[in-house]
Amino acid sequence: MIEDAYIKKKVKDYEIYYSELNKEQYDFTNKDINFISNNENSGFGVRILKNKRIGFASTNTNNLKKCIDKAIEICSLNNENNNFKNFALPSEKYTNVNSFNKTLIDFDGEDIKDFISEIRKENVNITEAIYLKTEGVVKIINSNGIDKESKFCTNSLSLEIKEDNNSIYFGIDDVFPINIDIVKEWIERLKNQKDKKKIKNFQGDVLFSEETLASLLDNILSYNLSGENIFYNRSGFCNKINKKVFSEKITIIDEPLTLNRVNTRSFDAEGVACKNLSLIENGILKNYLFDSYYGNLMNKNGGNTFRGIFSLPFISLSNITMKKGNKNDLVREIDRGLIVNGLMGVHTMDAVSGNFSLAVSEGFFVKNGAIECALKDCMIAGNFFEMMNNVLNVGNSLKNVSSGFYLPKVLCSNVNVIGN
């Protein structure tokens, strides 16, 4: 798969990343499966270190020698980087984890068509839908002795459904075949958006669904826990290790070693061993995330990178799990407030300050523990960090909400609601 004899003759310090992906995609609507594609692609990403300069090149043609020569050429054009000492070193211990599920491996084309047929039988207008099954192999070697390989398999479903004047986009990915029940849940959520009403401004409780909480946390945690942003003093979490950042009801763990999760893996994109890592424990910040470069600069372990053949390793979250609480029905806890199942413009939230003003795309007004109406033309505003310090309760079950987030519902107080 990777022959490194050629690069050894050229340079002393190197890293070769190989990726092979087999993708089976189905595009469909209510009427029919419009398009089926089966794509196989593979390629290399090569980094070399020479004379304190870094060179990177990639190819999807499997012409490794040409890619190596290109990386060396680019290296000679780059400026010196005195901070880059070496590529990642092998970890003392790797935990072997099975990163693919046989049930999904055996889920073949006929099974996929049967699943799509079940979706199309549902009484809803599907404006756009894509099912994608991906099987992959990743291999990493470098001049320091790293030589690691892993296989994985995931499937995803993205669906836009419409009824009357309402439309909602949903998405999910999993290591198990996606269940029709999740689609039925989405359809029920769309039907519940009928008869939307405007409400007046107030300050009250907001119950965030697992999906909504994931989108907010992804924005905040990805930026503020990044070792790169910590090093350059850009993060809102700088100098806050062992300090309170969220409510004591909140515990968040990154779990790359937990089985049957979307981003389960034994090692990261540099070949460094992954570890389950407590990020926030009872509201107290415990750890940042590092790659080998910023880990070396700050004397910390790496193991938190992702990449593709055309990108350099980047620091990212793996499987984010929030510890569940003990409350089953959080709606009953709301005197006057909202259920928020969807937000628009989360990317506009300031990750450092935490300030936000976001439109509610899917939600409900709640009074005295009961749902009164679906929301129309409503926004919420405030500060994410203050909000996460005003947590009233946490739900007692976890939900896979895509992209490696496994979360409960969370009920927060004193959120500004902007209505009519």
pLDDT-above-90 percentage for the chain: 94
Tokens of 170: 């949903």
> Which pTM does this prediction carry?
0.96
pLDDT above 90: residue 402? no
Which H/E stretch holds residue 190?
helix 180-191
Confidence tier at 3 by pLDDT (50, 70, 90): confident
- The pairing of strands 379-383 and 410-418 is antiparallel
Instruction: Report pLDDT for 1.
Output: 64
Which H/E stretch holds residue 306?
strand 305-306
Query: Which residues, in sequence order, are bridge partners of residue 61?
Result: none
Alpha-carbon distance of 14 to 146, in angstroms, equals 11
Query: Concatenated DSSP letters for 110-127?
Result: HHHHHHHHHHHHSSSEEE
pLDDT above 90: residue 99? no
Tens digits of residue pLDDT in 39-87? 999 999 999 999 999 999 999 977 999 999 999 999 999 999 999 999 9
Confidence tier at 123 by pLDDT (50, 70, 90): confident
Q: Which residue has the higher pLDDT, 166 or 79?
A: 79
Alpha-carbon distance of 209 to 340, in angstroms, equals 6
For CA atoms 201, 207, 213, 215, the dihedral sign is negative
DSSP-based three-state secondary structure for 294: helix
Instruction: Report pLDDT for 4.
Output: 84
Instruction: Report pLDDT for 33.
Output: 96
Tens digits of residue pLDDT in 351-365? 999 999 999 999 999
Please state the rounded mean pLDDT for residues 101-111. Answer: 96
Which three-class secondary structure string do you get for 136-151? EEEEEEECCCCEEEEE
Alpha-carbon distance of 294 to 239, in angstroms, equals 16
Tens digits of residue pLDDT in 374-387? 999 999 999 999 99
- CA dihedral (86, 277, 318, 255) in degrees, to 10, reads 130
Q: Count CB atoms within 10 A of the CB of residue 217.
A: 21
Q: Which CATH architecture has domain 5-186?
A: 2-Layer Sandwich (3.30)
Are 358 and 418 a contacting pair, CB within 8 Å?
no
What are the distances in angstroms from CA 43 to CA 57, 126, 327, 352?
Answer: 11, 35, 48, 36
pLDDT above 80: residue 279? yes
- Helices 180-191 and 109-121 cross at an angle (nearest 10°) of 20
Tokens of 145: 């002795």
Tens digits of residue pLDDT in 220-274? 999 999 999 999 999 999 999 999 999 999 999 999 999 999 999 999 999 999 9
Alpha-carbon distance of 50 to 79, in angstroms, equals 11
Tokens of 286: 């415990």
CATH 3.30.2290.10 location in the chain: 5-186
Tens digits of residue pLDDT in 182-230? 999 999 999 999 999 999 999 999 999 999 999 999 999 999 999 999 9
Are 219 and 349 a contacting pair, CB within 8 Å?
yes
**Could you say which DSSP state residue 87 is in?**
S
Which burial class, exposed, middle or buried, applies to 359 when counting CB atoms under 10 A from its CB (0-12, 13-18, 19+)? middle
Tokens of 358: 């976001």
Please state the rounded mean pLDDT for residues 141-150. Answer: 98
DSSP-based three-state secondary structure for 333: helix
- The pairing of strands 320-322 and 314-315 is unpaired
**9 Cβ contact partners less than 8 Å away, ≥ 6 residues apart:** none
**246 Cβ contact partners less than 8 Å away, ≥ 6 residues apart:** 252, 280, 283, 385, 388, 389, 391
pLDDT above 90: residue 310? yes
